[in-house]
Structure 1
Amino acid sequence: MKCILFVFGIIALLLCATVQAVDKSACSQPHEIGPCRKADPKFFYNSEKKACEDFLYGGCKGNDNRFDTKEECEKTCL
């Protein structure tokens, strides 16, 4: 029983590491406003400045380099 729990623990750690790596890939994408015109305040990671900056998201399409808060952006990308 302990062995099974240990195996599940290792699998969970590997899944967490994979999810973090995927999320961090968004940080290297350019920010995209998208074609719609909603003007929703969001944040993106500027890889040249190594900082999270605000922008107005159009509300549709775009890419994954878009965060609801500056804290979420910094937690993911820094």
Structure 2
Amino acid sequence: MKTKVSLLIIMIICALCSCSAAERPAHCLQPHPQGQGLCDMLISGFYYNADQNACEEWQESGCNVIGGHTYDLREDCVNDCVNVN
């Protein structure tokens, strides 16, 4: 009887842990894009900083945006990457 109760408790704990541990989308863990080219155009946006668990603004000069992931609005970044529960 103790074994069944212990097993049931372990199963409930595991179920609760898996429900609360949602994963961030993979694009949240990408760095912000890099600006390339010789022009004075300012490129900016918001990216997820995993070390701070926050969305931060980035700015670079360049004509082309290469790699990474960015958001135009901080709120979109926060909803996708910070408010994951």
- TM superposition score normalised by structure 2: 0.53
Of 40, 43, 47, which aligns to 1:44?
47
Amino acid paired to 1:61: V
Structure 1 residue matching 2:55: 3-state secondary structure: strand
Aligned to 1:35: 36
Q: Does 1:54 align with 2:57?
A: yes
Q: Provide the rounded CA distance (Å) in 2 between the counterparts of 1:27 and 1:74.
A: 10
Matched residue, 2:10? none
Question: Does the aligned pair in 1 maintain the 2:36–2:64 contact within 8 Å?
Answer: yes
| Identity across matched positions, percent | 28
The residue number in structure 1 matching 2:71 is: 67
How many residues matched? 57
Asked if structure 2 preserves the Cα contact closer than 8 Å seen for 1:42 and 1:69, the reply is: yes
Alpha-carbon distance between aligned partners in 2 of 1:76 and 1:27, rounded to the nearest angstrom: 8
Structure 1 gaps, min length 5: 1-20
What is the TM-score of this pair, normalised by structure 1? 0.57
Contact 2:30 2:68 in 1 (8 A): yes
Larger Rg belongs to: 2
**What's the CA shift string for 1:20-60, capped at 9, x where partnerless?**
x8x82111112232214521331011111110000115452
SS at match of 2:35: coil
Higher helix share: 1
Structure with greater strand share of residues: 2
